[in-house]
Structure 1
């Protein structure tokens, strides 16, 4: 699952560092474009995913979170 994060006045690097500490977060990268941070999350189930999402949303500087599931198609 990929989370797109919009930050407020907090520096993106600070936001990425804080988000990276959240259990379930695989990595957090600063990007350019309509969002400031892309967060890669791994969760065993929906309950865990909701918890990780809530923790990302409560990180300092986060003003908005949007989720995009990544579908792995066997090939």
Structure 2
């Protein structure tokens, strides 16, 4: 089973493209794009469990230089 989530990322001013590119190279990230609006980068990530997905976000994505805040939105199948 694969667990997926969108991770909404806020960055330091002028860092969105650099952050999006750095995140795109992380294992478990399927897409990473810089956008406009209240968030600067939107990431689609996946893992084999919620724990693995949480570790990916907190232990790897949030450590990318230039990130100021993230919001993780798990994908649900209703």
Query: TM bucket by the smaller chain?
Result: 0.7 to 0.9
Q: Output the TM-score relative to the length of structure 1.
A: 0.88
Aligned partners of 1:36, 1:51: CA distance in 2, in Å? 22
1:2 matched to which residue of 2?
6
Matches of 2:11 and 2:35, distance apart in 1: 11
Could you tell me which runs of 5 or more consecutive residues in structure 1 were left unpaired when the two chains were aligned.
none
Q: RMSD in angstroms over aligned alpha carbons?
A: 1.2
Pick closer, same or farther for the CA change 1:10–1:60 going to 2, 3 Å.
farther
Higher strand share: 2
- Report how many aligned residue pairs link the two structures: 73
Task: Look up the match of 2:66.
Answer: 61
